[in-house]
Amino acid sequence: MSERAAFALACLLLASPAAAEPRVTLLDLPFRVTQLRDPGSEAALAVATAGLPQLPRRAGPIAVAWGETGAAVLALSGDRVTVVPLSLDAVEGLTAAETPKGALPGSRRVLSGPVSAYLSGPTTGPDGRPGAAGVTIRERQKVAMSADPKPVPVATATVPPGAGAVFAPDTLRPVETDGSLALLALSERPEGASLAVIGREKTGGPEGTWRVRAETPPAPGPLRVAAALPGPGAVLVRGEEGKIELWSLAGSKPVRQAQGNTSQDGKSQDGKGFSAPGAVLAEGEMVLATRDRTALAYLSLKDLAERTRATLPAPIGAGLAVLGSGRNAPVIVALADGRLATVQDGDARP
C-alpha cells in the first residue's frame, strides 16, 4: 500500500463514528419498585383495557410497575419512556387474578388468546425447593351466536410433568410451534433439569389432549428460561456458571442450535456467564443480564455472541420489560435498590 493510500485509510477510520454505548437513564418515580410487568403480561393487558382516565386512548405497548407506596404505567411517547402515575389500589385490584386459586404461591398465570395456564399443585422438588405437580390449562370454548346471553364454557386440563419430576417455579412461556400454541416450562428430576414443551397431542378429541410433548435432555445444575423466541425457540441459562444455549422448538423434538460464543463456551465477554432475565429486541438480537446482574448484554441470536453491554447503576432486581420492538427499543430495568432505569442501544438504527 502506498503512503498516500495508507494516509487516506487512516483519515477514513478516524472520521468514522465510534459505536455508541447503550444509554442508561434513571426514571423519576416517587416510590420504590418491587414489581414490574412487561407489555405481554396479564397485568399490562388488564391495565390497558380498564379504561383508566390517566391513560391515552391509544397508549401503545405499556409496562406496569408498582411497590408498597405507589404504582405507574410506563409508555412510549415518540422514542422516550413516559411515566403515568396510577393508584396503587387500582393496580392491585387489576392484578389480583395473576395467581389463581390453587396456583403455586408466587407464580403468575399466562394468557394467549382463549387459553390461560398456570403452575398448580404446590409440591417439593428433588432438591427440596418448591415446585408444582402440574400445569393447569383453561380454554374458553367457542359458542354459537344467540340473542340470549349464555356463559362461555371453559375446558380445563392439568398436565403432569412425568414420573419422578416436578415443574420448577419459573414463569410459563407461550409460543407458537407448528401452527399451534405450546407452553414452555421447566421440569426437574433427580438427574437434572429440562425444558418441557407442553402442547396438544392429536388424540382424545377434535382439539387433542394437552401433554408434555417433548423435553430437552436433563442436565445437572440450575436452569432458567431467559427468553422465548418467535422462531419458535428458547434461550436457556444453564448451570452455576451461567452458560447460554439456543434451542429450536420446531418439529417434534427440541434441537440445540448454539451454545454461546464458541470462543467463550457460552459465557459473556468477561467470561463470567449470564443470568435470567432476558428479552427479544428484534429478529436476530436479544438482551440478557450478566451473571452478576450488574449489566445488560446485547447478544446476537445467530451465534449468541455478545455485541455490547450497558453497565447499570445497581444490580437487576424485579426484572425487565421491552417497550416496542427493534434494536433501538427501550428496555426498562427494575433495579434491586427499587429504582427504574431505561437502557437504549446507542448504536441502533431505526
Instruction: Kindly list the strands in the beta sheet with 316-322, ordered across the sheet, starting from the edge strand earlier in the chain.
Output: 23-26, 340-344, 331-335, 316-322
State the average pLDDT for the chain.
87
What is the pLDDT at residue 341?
97
- In this predicted structure, the answer to whether residue 36 has a pLDDT above a threshold of 90 is yes
- Which pLDDT score is estimated for 270? 63
Provide the pLDDT for residue 10. Answer: 46
> Which run of H or E residues covers position 85?
strand 80-86
Whether the predicted pLDDT of 118 surpasses 90? yes
pTM of the model: 0.87
Domain ranges across the chain: 101-142+154-219
Does the structure show a pLDDT above 90 at 150?
A: no
C-beta atoms surrounding 121 within 10 Å: 17
342 in Cβ contact with 296 (< 8 Å): no
Mean pLDDT of 298-312: 91
35 Cβ contact partners less than 8 Å away, ≥ 6 residues apart: 64, 65, 66, 67, 318, 334
Q: Residues 328-340: pLDDT tens digits?
A: 899 999 999 999 9
Bridge-partner residues for 188, per DSSP? 166, 193
Q: What pLDDT score was predicted for residue 348?
A: 47
> Residue 318's pLDDT band (boundaries 50, 70, 90)?
very high
Give Cα 280 to chain centroid, integer Å.
8
| Secondary structure (3-state) at 7 | helix
CA distances (Å), 119 to each of 146, 159, 228, 254, 279, in order? 35, 10, 18, 22, 22
Binning pLDDT at 50, 70 and 90, where does residue 135 land?
very high
Q: What is the pLDDT of residue 347?
A: 59
Q: pLDDT (tens digit, 9 = 90+) per residue, 196-248?
A: 999 998 765 556 799 999 999 999 999 999 999 987 899 999 998 899 999 99
Instruction: Annotate 118-134 with DSSP letters as a single string.
Output: EEEEEEE-TTSSEEEEE
pLDDT at 269: 62
Question: Rounded to the nearest 5 degrees, what angle is found at the Cα of 218, between the Cα atoms of 118 and 258?
Answer: 95
Q: What percent of the chain has pLDDT over 70?
A: 88
State residue 199's pLDDT score. 93
241 burial via Cβ count (<10 Å: 0-12, 13-18, 19+): middle
116 burial type by CB count under 10 A (0-12 exposed, 13-18 middle, 19+ buried): buried
Which residues are paired to 181 by β-bridges? 176
242-260 average pLDDT score: 87
- So what's the pLDDT on residue 252? 74
Q: pLDDT tens across 78-111, in order? A: 888 999 999 999 999 999 999 999 999 999 999 9
Confidence of residue 19 (pLDDT cuts 50, 70, 90): low
Backbone conformation region of residue 62, classed left if phi is above 0, alpha if psi is from -120 to 50, else beta? beta
Q: pLDDT at residue 131 above 90?
A: yes
For 52-81, the pLDDT digits (tens) are 888 877 778 999 999 999 999 999 888 889
